[in-house]
């Protein structure tokens, strides 16, 4: 009886339908096992790389997407390493699979390899141990940051009575080494400066398209006329201290040129020591094209830099206040015992020294002097009941302390060199 059962099982297994399956391995290449019906069916042929395909098949780019299949040309593979579709002693060249050429025997190995690998403009290759290898740049630059550094004319109006503070950008152009236009920049970010008035704030005019600037014969080619073409649809003003991050559809390489179109009083002429005019000044920095996460880190780093700068400035202000308070106390005690004659001598000596330093450096404006002296004299006379002459002496001593600390702050970078702040 037992022998009969085993015999029946053996008979049943020998007559099993060969098209049924239990696992994917039971099916042919490109098929999967449907466990519900225990039958082999065609599998999903979509892929991302050749690793998603069955053995002997490759991931090939097509109009409707990437699919697994046989490769008629190794260049059809989506994989970076297209040599996998070639034989053991072959490599994938621009013409398909072929014997690997010894690039070291060529007169210009780099140019030969670039041609063999079918590389486009701006892409380079190298010859390593007789084999061509594409160079992979560490950073791809696609952005420039235009930062306004103007300090004058920030509240002036133009001929139409409108406000255009800072640099007035019309376009940003990317040119190759031969002067050919490769791309026009488009606005990625616009940081408008904190100016009281600005009538030109539409950054979308930097839209990646060529600007519509037409010369009328009386001005240089490509320069707008303030009377009819300098308007809110052709110019974006950064404001004094503003910035514009501009991106390109093409990478920026070493021998390329960034051409910034900025409106100046006389187009294409050097006015007042600046290439952008008598008051408008800006600087351009090259920025790497980073992933979104890295870009957030860069923005966070910039914010931390600003916060650190503010903290240092307030620390400087506190130290300055404490030193001035100490100097005030000492000055009051010094002038109290002296008579009028000594007060005049002291005041003239101190004032002469400060005037000499102020005029030589240009850091201390005359108007600021007057405001400062009048304010301190009023404080001395009302608080300490000092005479006018004694109050002037104390105020001059305070001015000397303030000026010295301001010069020190400018020297170590806490204050801008053009700043006249000294209160």
Share of the chain above pLDDT 90, in %: 3
Could you tell me the CA-to-CA distances from 73 to 60, 65, 91, 119, 280 in Å, in that order? 9, 17, 12, 17, 57
153 vs 372, more confident: 153
Classified as helix, coil or strand, 362 is coil
pLDDT of 123 higher than 70: yes
What pLDDT score does 7 carry?
A: 34
For the packed helices 292-335 and 388-412, what is the interaxial angle rounded to 10 degrees?
A: 150
Is the pLDDT at 368 greater than 70, yes or no? no
Is residue 210 located within the same domain as residue 119?
no
Q: Do both 197 and 247 map to the same domain?
A: yes
**200/327 same-domain check:** no
Question: Cα-Cα-Cα-Cα dihedral of 81, 85, 89, 90, to 10°?
Answer: -80
Distances (CA, A) of 333 to 92, 336, 384, 388, 393: 90, 6, 10, 15, 12
The structural domain count of the chain equals 3
Give yes or no: residues 127 and 209 share one domain.
no
145 and 284 share a domain? yes
Classify strands 96-99 and 282-288 as parallel, antiparallel or unpaired: unpaired
Position 177 scores a pLDDT of 84
Least confident among 103-117, 229-243, 258-272: 258-272
pLDDT for 100 equals 72
Between residues 278 and 181, which one has the greater pLDDT?
181
Cα–Cα distance, 180 to 178 (Å, whole number): 6
Report the pLDDT averaged over residues 240-257.
87
Is residue 294 over pLDDT 50?
no
Higher pLDDT, 26 or 206: 206
Whether residues 395 and 308 fall in one domain: yes
Radius of gyration of the chain (CA): 38
Q: 370-395, pLDDT tens digit by residue?
A: 655 666 666 666 666 667 777 677 66
pLDDT at 156: 76
Which of the given ranges, 31-35, 108-112, 326-330, has the highest pLDDT on average? Answer: 108-112
Segments forming the whole domain that contains residue 275? 141-289
Across the range 331-347, mean pLDDT stands at 53
Q: Does residue 217 register a pLDDT over 50? A: no
What is the average pLDDT value for the chain, to the nearest integer?
69
* CA–centroid distance for 274 within its chain: 23
Examine the pLDDT at 364 and tell me if it is beyond 70: no
């Amino acid at each position: 009886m037992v022998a009969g059962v085993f015999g029946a099982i053996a008979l049943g297994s020998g007559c099993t339908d060969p098209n049924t399956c239990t696992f994917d391995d039971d099916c042919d290449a490109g098929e999967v096992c449907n466990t519900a019906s225990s039958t082999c069916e065609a599998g999903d042929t979509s892929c991302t790389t050749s690793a998603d395909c069955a053995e002997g098949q490759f991931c090939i780019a097509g109009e409707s997407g990437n699919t697994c299949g046989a490769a008629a040309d190794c260049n059809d593979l989506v994989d970076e390493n297209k040599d996998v579709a070639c034989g053991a002693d072959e490599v994938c060249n621009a013409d398909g699979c072929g014997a690997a050429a010894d690039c070291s025997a060529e007169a210009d190995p780099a140019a030969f390899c670039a041609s063999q690998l079918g590389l486009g403009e701006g892409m380079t290759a190298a010859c390593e141990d007789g084999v061509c290898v594409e160079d992979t740049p560490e950073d791809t630059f696609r952005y420039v940051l235009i930062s306004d550094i103007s300090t004058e004319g920030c509240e002036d109006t133009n001929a139409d009575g409108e406000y255009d503070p800072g640099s007035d950008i019309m376009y940003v152009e990317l040119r190759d080494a031969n002067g050919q236009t490769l791309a026009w920049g488009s606005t990625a970010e616009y940081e408008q400066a904190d100016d009281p008035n600005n009538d030109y704030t539409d950054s979308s005019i930097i839209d990646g398209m060529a600007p519509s600037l037409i010369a009328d014969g009386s001005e240089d080619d490509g320069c707008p006329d303030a009377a009819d073409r300098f308007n809110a649809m052709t110019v974006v003003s950064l404001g004094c201290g503003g910035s514009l991050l501009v991106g390109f559809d093409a990478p920026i390489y070493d021998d390329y040129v960034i051409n910034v179109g900025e409106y100046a009083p006389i187009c294409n002429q050097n006015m007042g020591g600046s290439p952008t005019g008598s008051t408008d000044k800006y600087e351009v920095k090259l920025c790497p094209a980073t992933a979104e996460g890295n870009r957030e880190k860069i923005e966070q780093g910039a914010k931390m830099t600003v916060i650190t700068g503010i903290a240092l400035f307030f620390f400087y202000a506190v130290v300055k206040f404490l030193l001035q308070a100490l100097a005030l106390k000492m000055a009051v005690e010094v002038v109290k015992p002296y008579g009028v004659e000594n007060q005049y001598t002291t005041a003239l000596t101190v004032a002469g020294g400060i005037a000499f330093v102020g005029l030589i450096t240009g850091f201390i404006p005359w108007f600021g002097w007057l405001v400062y002296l009048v304010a301190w004299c009023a404080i001395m006379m009302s608080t300490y009941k000092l005479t006018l002459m004694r109050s002037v002496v104390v105020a001059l001593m305070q001015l000397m302390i303030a000026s010295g600390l301001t010069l020190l702050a400018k020297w170590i970078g806490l204050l801008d060199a053009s700043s006249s702040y000294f209160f």
